[in-house]
Amino acid sequence: MGNSLCCSASGERLATAARDGDLGEARRLLELNPGLAKYSIFGGFNSSLHLAAADGRTEIAKLLLEKGADVNSRNICGQTPLMHACRSGHWDIVQILLLFRCDVLKVEYLNSRTALHFAAEGGHVRCIRLLVADFSCGASVSSKDGAQEGSIPKSSLRRGYDQLALSKFVNKAANGGVTALHLAALNGHFDCVHLLLDLHADVSSVALYYSSSTSSIGAGSTPLHYAACGGNLKCCQVLIARGASRSTENYNGWLPCDVARMWGCHSLEPLLSPNSDFTIPLFRPSNYLSLPLRSILDIARSLQVAKSQWSMQPFVSFYVRRDCGLQSSPATSDGDDLCAVCLERVCTVACEGCGHELCITCALCLCSTSKTTPETDARPGSIPCPFCRNGIVSFVKLPTFPPKELKLNQELSLCIKCSFDPHDLRRTAIACKSEFLKNT
């Protein structure tokens, strides 16, 4: 029942600790055998990372990834930890997996679904926001009228905005032609439908039979047919406002209003009638667009790599704590560089535009959880600055790593000989007779 990496008993204990959130037990087991991070349970073949992602065990997920767990590991159904996190709606786990560069394009074996399908089906709009971050979502939305179509700013092109790749990812069809927009519309998740439409989801895509429970919708149905079955008024309105046709028949010859009638959603029939004269409200860009999310993820990834390299140096790792690239160096006694939000970590990023500084952890949380500013003069997709409320469209990394607070000849109390060559700590550490070494 075990595998070549570790004994079965220890692997089962780690899996149980990951499922139950026992961080102390997980840390002890991994210290004894780091190879346990790759262990899979016999039968279900869910790794400990799968279990931690499904149950939202954030600290255990970070620990497993730091110990070498495969971020793209699959279970017997071909599902990755990212899919488990999106299905359960644990956006903080999704964020960590993205920092360790998980592959958002992977599909499961059974239904060819991506993590985006799982997030859309469950209505987890913040997970969707994170999944599309590497495509620089929201960059093509006009800043004046909020229209979906618009020219792409040059600054967005420099940051690697790829509308074609974004559209291809959002409109990826699972088995039967079902897209994420179909699933969000069927389950009545308006925020997800609204966000997907702003990410260039195709309102005219047609699906075959989804499952036995919804097969009576009919093959060839559009997202509007699925929204009519789901019975959510706002989902139908936003689809029609973005170009969905009320006169499109599926392969059974049914209109969206026919589907609404068959599923008992009679209140939608006047709206979905092909000759309806109902006024469709105007929808501004989704509150869950996030322009600066791409930049802050890139910065966090670069800090993670940099801190990993610095942690290889003895004594420097004593001072610079490597914690998934999210923790900055401890603040100095003057406190001038403390993040004004958490008052715990030093500032490592600055808002492009207003210039206010935050730590990387607070900036990530701000972009992942905050809704966009509702002011009409703010650029759609910008995040309101917590200090001045101006819209943030991107972050820039402050030149503070290696941390400016790290004064090797003072903080580490190296001797004069060692302070002359602080980068050659391995060779000089043995001969160093400083007070720091005496105390260790």
Domain match, 121 and 189 both: yes
* 93 within some domain: no
Q: In the predicted model, what is the mean pLDDT of residues 228-242? A: 96
156/184 same-domain check: yes
Q: pLDDT digit string (tens) for 79-134?
A: 999 999 999 999 999 999 999 999 999 999 989 999 999 999 999 999 999 999 99
Q: Are residues 343 and 360 in the same domain?
A: yes
Q: Which of 272, 303, 331 is the endpoint of a domain?
A: 272
Calculate the average pLDDT of the chain.
79
Residues with Cβ within 8 Å of residue 144, at least 6 apart in sequence: none
For residue 247, pLDDT beyond 70: yes
Whether the pLDDT of residue 246 is over 80: the answer is: yes
The alpha carbon of residue 147 and the mean position of all alpha carbons in its chain are separated, in whole angstroms, by 25
Judgement on whether residues 180 and 259 belong to the same structural domain of the protein = yes
- Same domain, yes or no, for 413 and 394? no
Residue 59 lies in a domain: no
Same domain, 217 and 333: no
Domain of residue 424 covers 407-440
Task: Give residue-wise pLDDT tens across range 152-199.
Answer: 344 443 444 578 899 999 999 998 899 999 999 999 999 999 999 999
As a whole number, mean pLDDT of residues 352-360 equals 91
Please check whether residue 142 lies inside any domain of the structure.
yes
pLDDT in the model for residue 2: 42
Is residue 331 domain-shared with residue 418, that is, in the same domain?
A: no
- The 3-state DSSP class for residue 227 equals helix
Taking only the tens place, the pLDDT of each residue in 273-294 is 999 888 899 999 999 999 999 9
**Domain count across the chain:** 3
Q: State whether 388 and 411 are in the same domain.
A: no
Model pLDDT, residue 237? 97
Residue 85 maps to a domain = no
Indicate whether 283 belongs to any domain. no
- Residue 81 placed within a domain: no
We report the CATH number of the domain holding residue 138 as: 1.25.40.20
Judge if 125 and 243 occupy the same domain: yes
Give me the DSSP letters along 136-156: TTTTTS-TTT--S--PPPHHH
**118 and 171 co-located in one domain:** yes
Residue 325 placed within a domain: yes
Q: What is the CATH number of the domain that holds 302?
A: 3.30.40.10
Q: How confident is the model at residue 272 (pLDDT cuts 50, 70, 90)?
A: very high
256 and 363 both lie in a single domain: no
**Residue 332 covered by a domain:** yes
Together in a domain, 214 and 337: no
